[in-house]
Structure 1
Amino acid sequence: MNNEVKELKGTFKSFIKKDGDKWGLIYFQPENEKSKIVIYAVAPLPMCHVDYEILVQPNNRNYRLLEFKPYKKENTQIDWVEFFKNHIKGVGQKSAEKINEIYGAKIFDLINFYEDNEEELKNNLTTSQIEGFKDFWKIPRNQKTIKELLGKTGEADMSSISFFYNNNLEILYNKLLEIHDNDESIDFVKFYTKNQPYILYTKYNLNLLLVDQFALLLKYSKSFPERVKAYLKFIIQEKERDNSTLLPATEIFVDLQTKTEIESPILKEILIDLCNQGYLFYYNKNGKDYFSLGSTRKKEFFIYEFLEKINNQPPKIFDSLDSSKLNDLSKKQQEAYLSFLKENILIITGGPGTGKTHLINKLNQTLKLNRYKNENDYVILAPTGRAATNISNKIKSKVKTIHSFLRIPTDLEEPEYDEDRELIKVLIIDEFSMVNLNIFEKLLRSCPNLEKLVLIGDIDQLPAIGPGNLLENLLLSNKFSATYLVDYFRSDSKTIWEHFNSIKKEGELPKFHKGIVDLYEFNDLTLTDQLVDLYSKKLQKTDLENLILLCPTYKGNEGLINLNNLIQNKINPQGRVVHTYKKLGQTIEFRVGDKVIQLENRINDEIYNGDFGRIVAVDEGTSSKAKDKKIKIEFNQGHENKTIVYTREEFYNQIALGYGVTVHKFQGSEINNVIFLVHPKHNFMLTKKMLYTGTSRAKKYLAIVTTNKSDYREINLKNEVYKKEILTNLELFLKGEKWN
């Protein structure tokens, strides 16, 4: 078998083996040949019982699929019985024969106009069969395939479709159909030749590499300004994840030139034009040049003006609780409470155990005393579901996540107008250090009639993932009333408090106490095995809900992907495997009984990014259709257990193993037992804020794990410990910088 690429026509008959929609081994029947061949394909996978033109290349004893596109065979009858049976959920051999006898291909016309044909369909099909056809028809790619098979696609449209298939852009084609309301009459090649295509990234967030490939094939120039704008947005937003909104201009220029392949003089001229247009902002500080996205700077200026406006309004005065109800407040807590009564903006900062939640409870009681209603006149918010649940359980009052309040799943979404949010007069936001400027700007815009704002957080913790350094910028500006809580109130973890508190102090060695704060210096060669053994031994004295491994990164042998796998194999080796995929080159299995973490907000289910659960069951569905698989995860939400059912695709996108998580992901949460890995390979991430945040998550027990080649005490003695500089426009506005 040589390696020459072969062009074939024929039909894919059946899958021998597949992993969902990611890859598969498929029998292919070439046209006018008796024997089938085996083809290996990766996503997007072709459909069975559809005629294709394909390109394949020999691969050992089989073939590898390079390209495929459907085509209509002349004078050939389509076997709709086989098609229905293999592609429609709930349809078997006998029901496929019956449906074909009654309707044949006409069934798809009836489904397309279901409301007009509902009664007739219900007379001949079961509810599950109707739902199966409707689910199939919802997918734009399936509609396109059926129309091609029935010859309902015009020549111009087929030419457009062929363009996408010939250039491996079928994924983009399906996305374009979604954007254009499944209107297959549009010739997307002609449409986006006349209308610049980079809007597909800047507005619709489609993959920029696919969009760029499409645009270049349409003969757009590499120096096309909209292309440069798209790549600028991509590069700068990636860097904004590390908080700075003013970024080194040289760094941006080098990255931009690498990705766009535009000659330096031409690129400089384009950037000057973009600065003049306001798309890009240029700033010079101490002889160094910086760039910022104009859109980001605009958000920062809005936040600055909004806060200035509230702060300068006549103060909103509240009646106080009876003094007898304030006797349990420390001097600093009382100071913060009195500021709340008379100040329009108040910032409260303090570490774990300094009584921030206790103070929130007093503020909540005071608002009720002043006839303010929770969720009508005021709301208490937190950035994560875990933090919101924790506060809610302690103060016995409703606390929402910011995303659920705005009813958006991610920071990328824009909240819909809601007149109820315009009635909100007071916002209390806990764990404010975790709030980035994108979500904060959306929140303030949604509450235009705000009178009082309380921001609560720990300035020594890590800043948010995303643009901005809000808590630090606002606190250090000295423009707003602020209280620093310093007294520690937890009697059960004073030793842990002394340890993480010492990290903040220059020249002070961290304190240890055997059995409460332990330091393990494992051999570098056996560290991962010893770490897993430590986790397993600790689990014998507690449970998974009260134990977590923290680490700065998922990457590498000492990263969380590998460590989660090792812990799983140690403590849950026999659990039934429910799902498998690869990430960063490593295979990850999920088993019944595994501890997992939610990665996206599910607003309707009230399950949020950062919530932990446990896989409790799996329903495989029909064995030939992996997409039918349903996986059940149980979440403990304090007062109740909630079971959520995930489709295979939802599970893949939203769930990760949760025996260990990053420090960033666990920020805002506390747990009884923490094992914190501080490895020399992670030195570039080990800021004092990283060390402080990781160690301060523990309530009863803290284990620091490092290697015999690293000195944890010495790392803490370093003054700034790999401190990174964060530059923001908001900081400049607060210092008096003008918009122009």
Structure 2
Amino acid sequence: MRDERRLIGQLQAQGLLSDLDVYFADLLLAKSDQPSELLALAAAMTSRVTNEGHVCFDLNEMADRPLNGLDGQVIATVPSLHDWSARLHRSGVVGTPGEHQPLILDASGRLYLHRYWKYEHRLGFLLDERAGRQATDVDETVLRTGLKQLFPNTGDDIDWQKQAAAAAVLRRLSVISGGPGTGKTTTVMRLLALLRQQPGGEALRFALAAPTGKAAGRLQETIQQSRDSHPAQMGSLPELTSTLHRLLGVRHGSTSFVHNRDNPLALDVLVLDEASMVPVALMAKLLEALPDSARLILLGDKDQLASVEAGAVLGDICSGYRGPTPHFAEQLQRVTGESPLSDSSNPRALADSVVVLKKSYRFDSASPIGRLAGAVNTGNFKQAWELLEEGGAASQIRRIPVSEDTAKLAAGRYAKIFEKIGKEAAPSEIFASLNDYRVLCAMQQGPDGVTAVNRRIEAELRSRGYITGDSEWFQGRPVLVTRNSYGLGLYNGDIGVALPNPQAGGEISVVFPVADGSFRWIAPARLPEHQTVFAMTVHKSQGSEFNEVLLQLPARDNPLLTRELLYTAITRARSRFYISTEQEVFHSLVHRQLRRNSGLAEVLWQ
């Protein structure tokens, strides 16, 4: 087997394959009827790209071209797609879709780990099936009246929030995508009120969920605000939200859930916020657990970063959307009084399930932050860079040269937290100060990663006298939970602050906010895995927003730096956005799009 391992051994020695990738390839070589270098390469690459977030390895990206090492030297020549595919099919461990083999190769050259082919295939089928189901029990007269009441006409432009709400009432699957401040949550609260108004609506069982505890908490805050501001219209709507894992029912030590096809969820309407964060495996399991009659409403921003795990489900769902079918456009016109532009080129039912919200109510598209986000999202480097260069100290956006010490800037802002602690401020004031400002990083490790930046900010605060003593549990330490603890009710993404606990004689505890406005205190020794959070990754910031954001980018380019990462960071800021970068790195970010290899969009739209 030594000859078959030669190529992957060279790639491993250069750091291009991990030990896990090579181990997986070795397993398949041992099982194969015809082991070969090409099988080892395909297996190792499939393992590698899956860990990078792709659902599959596209053989087309490597076929019929030389394979170079890190030094640029050619270490192998990969055959054509046809020849490579033929060799793989003769191996005895690579099957075609529907077969039970460790690897599945489809006709387009996409090579999957078997479980990921199964997830994608099943998810595509379930989404397509649900999109094809129109709700047959809707009273259009009641709906028309409710839409007029909740979405009064404000001009001649199409009200996309109204369109989204109407579509969600009329269909079993609804996907509402929009950038920050476009009113996704406002829309969904109104559409839930519309469902309550329908015949039998008072008996509907609602559930509201999000991928992380942080996102679920923010959704609950927004819902409570809607209930408080519109008690007559929203008072009967659900209060509590849940993480997706808690909703499905975690089985400890297992990847399966309590709720599944054989034990479906007991609900009629499910709203899932921050859907862009949900990977293909989890989304497939969610669809399996939904009753056939239930409505599924997905909320998210298709242009944000995709999930950390494999897949870009929301992006794939929205990828082929150009407008509703002519038939559904007519129905929308009947109930909304507005005529959305239809798309007759694609008769797929999914076209009637997607609505994209276009108007931001958080910041005007003409504001500096709005213009910067728009320029980045469209790949307009020239405009984006000019906006950064125009920004001065008083501007909404500002570029900070990499030579400037951002730790000093950040420490100056975070000092407010320690000043409030010194005045014995209430936890609510301390959290308000903490959430006013956040440093974001592209990566966890490296000189400009979260770990290093947190250390520099902490050191600067110590040098200014705000942090004293040697304990890691200093007063004011902000803490990010990085692993779920169902026993404690703490979830990946929850943020707390270390403070003297008046209920424990002033001993340091970590205080966490609760959705009802109260706080809970937990001893540091009981916490699940966690880290200091003066700085956090852009990925971890999804589902959050801050008045001011400082994005610390690496001094050198990295393949992980993408347009989607930059757009996500910009849109976390409500009022000010600062970025530490130089032109070359920024140029690469704006032009490098995140592309996840997947066959889901093809299944849904072709």
TM-score, with structure 2 as normaliser: 0.69
Partner of 1:722: 592
Secondary structure class of the residue paired with 2:182: coil
Residues 230 and 429 of structure 1: is their aligned pair in 2 closer, same or farther, counting only changes over 3 Å?
farther
Q: Is 2:178 the counterpart of 1:299?
A: no
Residues 322 and 500 of structure 1: is their aligned pair in 2 closer, same or farther, counting only changes over 3 Å?
closer
Residues 429 and 733 of structure 1: is their aligned pair in 2 closer, same or farther, counting only changes over 3 Å?
same
Q: Is the 8 A contact 2:438 2:534 kept in 1?
A: yes
Partner of 1:272: 91
**How far apart, in 1, do the equivalents of 2:136 and 2:252 lie?**
33
Q: Which amino acid aligns with 2:152?
A: N
**How far apart, in 2, do the equivalents of 1:704 and 1:617 lie?**
34
Q: Which amino acid aligns with 1:612?
A: I
Where structure 2 has 5 or more consecutive residues not aligned to the other structure, the ranges are 1-18, 68-77, 79-83, 225-238, 322-347, 418-432, 502-506
Q: Is the 8 A contact 2:479 2:498 kept in 1?
A: yes
Cα distance, 1:497 vs. partner?
A: 2.0
Write the deviation string for residues 176-201 of structure 1: whole angstroms up to 9, x where unpaired: xxxxxxxxxxxxxxxxxxxxxxxxxx
**How far apart, in 1, do the equivalents of 2:134 and 2:170 lie?**
10
Q: Is the 8 A contact 2:207 2:271 kept in 1?
A: yes
Partner of 2:339: none
Q: How does 1:397-412 map to 2 (within 5 A)?
A: 397-408=239-250
Partner of 1:634: 511
Q: Which amino acid aligns with 1:521?
A: I
**How far apart, in 2, do the equivalents of 1:316 and 1:534 lie?**
58
**How far apart, in 1, do the equivalents of 2:453 and 2:164 lie?**
43
Q: How does 1:603-618 map to 2 (within 5 A)?
A: 603-616=486-499
Partner of 2:30: 223
Partner of 2:504: none
Cα distance, 1:644 vs. partner?
A: 2.6
Q: How does 1:47-58 map to 2 (within 5 A)?
A: none
Q: Is the 8 A contact 2:550 2:577 kept in 1?
A: yes
Q: Is 2:409 the counterpart of 1:534?
A: yes
Partner of 1:365: 193
Partner of 1:135: none
Q: Is the 8 A contact 1:236 1:252 kept in 2?
A: no
Q: Is 2:481 the counterpart of 1:594?
A: no
Residues 435 and 539 of structure 1: is their aligned pair in 2 closer, same or farther, counting only changes over 3 Å?
same
Q: Which amino acid aligns with 2:307?
A: A
Q: Is the 8 A contact 1:409 1:603 kept in 2?
A: no
Q: Is the 8 A contact 2:402 2:555 kept in 1?
A: no
Q: Is the 8 A contact 2:448 2:553 kept in 1?
A: no
Q: Which amino acid aligns with 1:240?
A: T
Residues 372 and 566 of structure 1: is their aligned pair in 2 closer, same or farther, counting only changes over 3 Å?
farther
Q: Is 2:31 the counterpart of 1:242?
A: no
Cα distance, 1:233 vs. partner?
A: 8.5
When Rg is computed on C-alpha atoms for both structures, the one with the higher figure is 1
Residues 668 and 536 of structure 1: is their aligned pair in 2 closer, same or farther, counting only changes over 3 Å?
same
Residues 541 and 316 of structure 1: is their aligned pair in 2 closer, same or farther, counting only changes over 3 Å?
farther
Bigger RCO of structures 1 and 2 (CA < 8 A, at least 6 apart): 2
Where structure 1 has 5 or more consecutive residues not aligned to the other structure, the ranges are 1-207, 255-263, 579-588, 619-629
Write the deviation string for residues 508-535 of structure 1: whole angstroms up to 9, x where unpaired: 51235443433233354xx4xx110110
Partner of 2:567: 692
Q: Is the 8 A contact 1:674 1:702 kept in 2?
A: yes
Secondary structure class of the residue paired with 2:374: helix
Cα distance, 1:617 vs. partner?
A: 6.0
Write the deviation string for residues 436-456 of structure 1: whole angstroms up to 9, x where unpaired: 111111111222334322111
Secondary structure class of the residue paired with 2:497: strand
Secondary structure class of the residue paired with 2:55: coil
Cα distance, 1:351 vs. partner?
A: 0.6
Residues 411 and 331 of structure 1: is their aligned pair in 2 closer, same or farther, counting only changes over 3 Å?
farther
Q: Is the 8 A contact 2:251 2:257 kept in 1?
A: no
Kindly tell me the number of residue pairs found equivalent between the two proteins: 477
Stretch of structure 1 that moved more, 490-499 or 596-605: 490-499
Q: Is 2:186 the counterpart of 1:327?
A: no
Q: Is the 8 A contact 2:273 2:299 kept in 1?
A: yes
**How far apart, in 2, do the equivalents of 1:671 and 1:271 lie?**
55
Cα distance, 1:556 vs. partner?
A: 1.6
Cα distance, 1:539 vs. partner?
A: 3.0
Partner of 2:294: 451
Q: How does 1:360-399 map to 2 (within 5 A)?
A: 360-370=188-198, 371-372=200-201, 377-396=205-224, 397-399=239-241
- Which is richer in strand? 1
Q: Is the 8 A contact 1:521 1:706 kept in 2?
A: yes
Q: Is the 8 A contact 2:477 2:497 kept in 1?
A: yes
**How far apart, in 2, do the equivalents of 1:723 and 1:291 lie?**
22
Q: Is 2:172 the counterpart of 1:344?
A: yes
Q: Which amino acid aligns with 1:635?
A: F
Superposed CA RMSD in Å reads: 3.9
Q: Is the 8 A contact 1:551 1:559 kept in 2?
A: yes
Q: Which amino acid aligns with 1:509?
A: Q
Cα distance, 1:485 vs. partner?
A: 1.1
**How far apart, in 1, do the equivalents of 2:302 and 2:114 lie?**
27
1:660 aligned residue (530, 535, 547) = 535
Residues 470 and 604 of structure 1: is their aligned pair in 2 closer, same or farther, counting only changes over 3 Å?
same
Q: Is the 8 A contact 2:249 2:259 kept in 1?
A: no
Partner of 2:522: 644
Q: Which amino acid aligns with 2:278?
A: V
